[in-house]
Structure 1
Amino acid sequence: MKTALITGANKSIGFETARQLLRQGYYLYLGCRDIEKGREAVKLLQAENLNQVEPVEIDVDDINSIQAAREVVGNKTNVLDVLINNAGVSGSMPQAPLDTEISLFRHVFETNFFGVITVTQAFVDLLKESPEPRIVNVTSGLGSLTLHNDPEWHYYKVKPTVYVSSKAALNAYTIVLAYELRDTAFKVNAVDPGYTATDFNNHTGPGTIPEAAARVVKAATLGVDGLTGQFFSDDNAPDTGISPW
């Protein structure tokens, strides 16, 4: 049975991603900052007869919490097949490049960038024990620098400075991580779940949570011939599914 850890998984896209992987037979470590909310999320899944799941407390902004989560998971399994770095924040708005306080940059980067790196480094030893390890970094279409410089892009005028910068940095980390692991069985990819109606954007997005989660699951379950080092985005690239960086 394959195992997966998802951060920020007690609600929204992370929760639905867990549900879909459970339906495919995975054992899920449902990562959440608040363990009580995680337990409630697990109860909801178990009510659907999806029982191969347990909550793991992990705050990606706190290295001690990450290390504690690594110990918890490591005491239960010697192998982790999938790591989905889903936890993320947008930061308060507006985010003008000249007026936004540096403290907001630090706050958002702590979760969206440094948190991903710290979690990945903490769990990579368990992933290396898998015959087909997968790392999925949940990004945003707004992380594409190429498209942000294209006046014809449909989101050209949408430029929340802090959030855009953090996701562009995450994309860059994904590229170099995939390169570092290029000669191994790892598949490392960034996935844009699309503009989805969630708490993240006050439910303004046109996409649905199941659709968004399916994109993440697709990258998490890539076969041996699957791509690595890609920026998957049906929203930015409906024809190819691969966005420009």
Structure 2
Amino acid sequence: MTSPAAQIILVTGANKGLGFSIIKVAAQRESPTPSNTYILCCRDVDAGQKAVEELQALGVTANIDLLELDVTNDEQITAAVKYVESTYGRLDVLINNAGALIMPSNESLPAIRQAYNDTLNLHISSVAVASIAFTPLLRKSPDPKVINITSGIASMQNVLTTKMGRHPPYGASKVGLNGLTVHMQVAENDRVQGGGENATGPRIRFYVVAPGPLKTAFNGFRGPRSPDDGAEVVVRLVADREGAFEGGSHWQFEEGDMRQVPW
């Protein structure tokens, strides 16, 4: 039985929390013969280096590359794409994990507007820009994927029918992220089905995942689940080489099963 080809996997916001756990869980699962390369991206290189050292202390032997990347900074996105292109020549999986709960600095209208603008920029615009920037490298992969980290409160059906967290700026941004993911998938489907020069390269599969409320700095470590548990849904999508999980879908992992979440 031949082993699956190595993957180049880039994770934004990966020096702590869910992003860190995604790399840790995926890399540990490869032991004792790791093949994949994980590009750990973060805004603070010093914090990223500490994360790499922590992974090594945990026994992770996979190749971990460290890259400075603030996803709201177009120059850094451009530099990251050039680095991945010159170093690896392709990208197999882009995991748009970077996120934050942004609160207004005060109750003034300008402060509220700024909090909304920053939240939407981080969770929608920056995901779109990063995904588009890396698309040429993704199309050089035999099985490219983009995995976007959403939230349970992005399911409008769930919010209306169950008791869930209430934070309109964050919730609205994740609803928008879900919509962005759907539209990027159908645009990609149309490209491949349309034929001609634009149809060259494999179809990129786009996903959103709901890891659930986790014990991270994001929520003051009040979540009921560990980041490693939240990482499971992402790790399973990364490992899917047969197309069992159709693109344009919204997934969570609960009680040992992958489940689709209503939009």
TM over 0.5: yes
User: Does the 8 Å contact 2:94/2:147 carry over to 1?
Assistant: yes
Corresponding position of 1:145: 156
Q: What are the equivalent positions in structure 2 for 1:66-215 lying under 5 Å apart?
A: 66-92=77-103, 101-150=112-161, 153-155=162-164, 158-182=165-189, 183=192, 184-215=202-233
Percent of matched pairs sharing the same residue: 29
Corresponding position of 1:4: 9
User: Does the 8 Å contact 2:27/2:60 carry over to 1?
Assistant: no
**Residues 212-233 of structure 1: per-residue CA shift (max 9 Å, x gap):** 0111111222232322111112
1:138 and 1:53 mapped to 2: Cα distance? 21
Q: Over aligned residues, Cα RMSD in angstroms?
A: 2.3
User: Is 1:58 aligned to 2:76, yes or no?
Assistant: no
Q: What letter is aligned with 2:239?
A: T
Q: What are the equivalent positions in structure 2 for 1:226-245 lying under 5 Å apart?
A: 226=244, 227-234=246-253, 241-245=259-263
1:189 and 1:211 mapped to 2: Cα distance? 18
> Secondary structure of 1:181's match?
helix
2:169 and 2:256 mapped to 1: Cα distance? 26
> Secondary structure of 1:80's match?
coil
1:65 and 1:99 mapped to 2: Cα distance? 28
Q: Which has the higher helix share?
A: 2
Question: How many pairs were matched up?
Answer: 239
Q: Return 18-27 or 203-212, whichever deviates more.
A: 18-27
User: Is 1:28 aligned to 2:38, yes or no?
Assistant: yes
**Residues 99-153 of structure 1: per-residue CA shift (max 9 Å, x gap):** 9711100111111111111111111111101111111000101111122222xx1
Q: What letter is aligned with 1:57?
A: E
1:91 and 1:198 mapped to 2: Cα distance? 15
> Secondary structure of 1:189's match?
strand
User: Is 1:39 aligned to 2:46, yes or no?
Assistant: no
1:46 and 1:18 mapped to 2: Cα distance? 12
Q: TM-score, normalised by structure 2?
A: 0.84
1:222 and 1:185 mapped to 2: Cα distance? 15
2:238 and 2:62 mapped to 1: Cα distance? 20
Q: TM-score, normalised by structure 1?
A: 0.90
Q: Which protein has the larger Cα radius of gyration, Structure 1 or Structure 2?
A: 2
Q: What letter is aligned with 1:179?
A: V
Q: What letter is aligned with 2:260?
A: I
Q: What letter is aligned with 2:188?
A: L
User: Does the 8 Å contact 1:135/1:220 carry over to 2?
Assistant: no
Q: Which runs of 5+ in 1 are unaligned?
A: none
2:106 and 2:262 mapped to 1: Cα distance? 24
User: Does the 8 Å contact 1:88/1:112 carry over to 2?
Assistant: yes
2:102 and 2:24 mapped to 1: Cα distance? 27
Q: Which runs of 5+ in 2 are unaligned?
A: 1-5, 193-201
User: Does the 8 Å contact 2:95/2:146 carry over to 1?
Assistant: yes
User: Does the 8 Å contact 1:90/1:200 carry over to 2?
Assistant: yes
User: Does the 8 Å contact 2:84/2:90 carry over to 1?
Assistant: no
